[in-house]
Amino acid sequence: MAEVMLPEKLEISNDTSSLASPELLHVLAVDDSIVDRKFIERLLRVSSCKVTVVDSATRALQYLGLDGENNTVGFEDLKINLIMTDYSMPGMTGYELLKKIKESSAFREIPVVIMSSENILPRIDRCLEEGAEDFLLKPVKLADVKRLRDSLMKAEEKAFNNIIMHKRELEVNDVYSQLKRAKI
Amino acid sequence: MNTVIAQLQRRFQDYIVSLYQQGFLDNQFSELRKLQDASSPDFVSEVVSLFFDDCAKLINNMSRSLERPENVDFKQVDSGVHQLKGSSSSVGAMRVKNVCISFKECCDVQNREGCLRCLQQVDYESKMLKTKLQDLFNVSFKALQNPTCSAARATNTPSWRYNSSGGYKLD
């Protein structure tokens, strides 16, 4: 009887704790107001996030390597889980930043949240249409950040579980086809 | 000793409540306090300091823009008001924020006189708030320093901590 080769043990562990742990979502926050920068940074730290804060959309693009000065070489290791940006900023607005991010192949998957002190419906619609994950009214509350974090963690866990299930399916199919070949 | 502390706690709490009642502060200020803890013990006073510095700078700039009646840069003033409204809103400086609302209206119709009045008011309110908050943050308890007192710490100036059940305790 032909030997059936068992597939190699899956490297992926069943331990989802590295995702589910309240660890280190890395957030890039963009705001031209020094008061708001201090505030959002603390808000995010208290919510167990790693935070990078910049004072303009231009600097945000520089940080991401999207400013045209560098290509994305060297930025592959940059792991950002969320971008939170103020809407009204001098120079480039948060909306324009959102568009640039969604146009980039490297970063378009990253959720972008827009923050604004003004509750203007057409503005909100425009941002959501352009792919914003959420639109928060300032001043942002701790509860808003917690809600964001929770939904991001859920989305990551779901994606992770999908990967596991898919790999298991492949594994099962692999065994099945081997058994067939061995005519068991 | 503990009754002295309890009394001071009550006075402190009453003072904060009065600031809310008089409209100096709104709920956002308590959101700020939620973010303060042992790892960031001076967070509130730090943010508030940044706010007052920012305030002074913006007021200065707007004052210059409004200076010459024949040449007012209302766009610049409007931008300043917007920033001031944003930051006052972020720290819970309610009176300052409310003046900004009228200020913006004056800007929109290019009313220089109105703008100057609002500018003066904003300056007054921010200075008033600064005085009130400085009283709060500068409480020093050197007299209470006593190693046998359970509330005493190694630091020289113990400060008040807001705890999540709504009370204040000496740290």
List pLDDT tens digits, range B18-65.
999 999 999 999 999 999 988 998 899 999 999 999 999 999 999 999
Go through the domains of chain B in sequence order and give each one's CATH number. 1-142 (1.20.120.160)
* Secondary structure percentages of chain B, helix, strand, coil, to 5: 65, 5, 25
pLDDT of residue A9: 54
CA A4 vs CA A9, A68, A167, A169: distances in Å: 15, 53, 19, 18
Q: Kindly tell me if the per-residue pLDDT of B144 is higher than 50.
A: no
A53 phi/psi in degrees, rounded to 5: -115, 135
Tens digits of residue pLDDT in A71-93: 555 566 788 999 999 999 999 99
pLDDT of residue A122: 95
d(CA A40, CA A32): 12
Yes or no, beta carbons of B54 and A90 under 8 Å apart:
no
User: CA A146: distance to chain centroid?
Assistant: 15
d(CA A39, CA A45): 10
pLDDT under 70: residue ranges of chain A: 1-23, 69-76, 184
Question: What is the complex's ipTM, to 2 decimals?
Answer: 0.77
Nearest beta carbon to residue B50 from set A35, A138, A139 = A35
Q: Give me the residues paired with residue A30 across strands.
A: A54, A85
Residues in chain A: 184
Yes or no, beta carbons of B87 and A35 under 8 Å apart:
yes
d(CA B86, CA A88): 11
pTM exceeding the 0.90 threshold for the entire prediction? no
A28 SS3 class: strand
| Residue B40 DSSP code | B
Tens digits of residue pLDDT in B101-128: 999 999 999 999 999 999 999 999 999 9
Q: Kindly tell me if the per-residue pLDDT of B145 is higher than 70.
A: no
Residues in chain B: 171
Other Cβ atoms within 10 Å of A99 Cβ, number: 16
Go through the domains of chain A in sequence order and give each one's CATH number. 26-155 (3.40.50.2300)
Interface test with A, best of B50, B58, B126 (most A CBs within 10 A): B50
List CB contacts of B52: < 8 A, sequence separation 6 or more: B126, B130
Q: Which two tokens stand for residue A83?
A: 């971008």
To the nearest whole angstrom, how far is the Cα of B13 from the nearest Cα of chain A? 23
Q: Which two tokens stand for residue B77?
A: 């003033």
End-to-end alpha carbon distance in chain A: 9
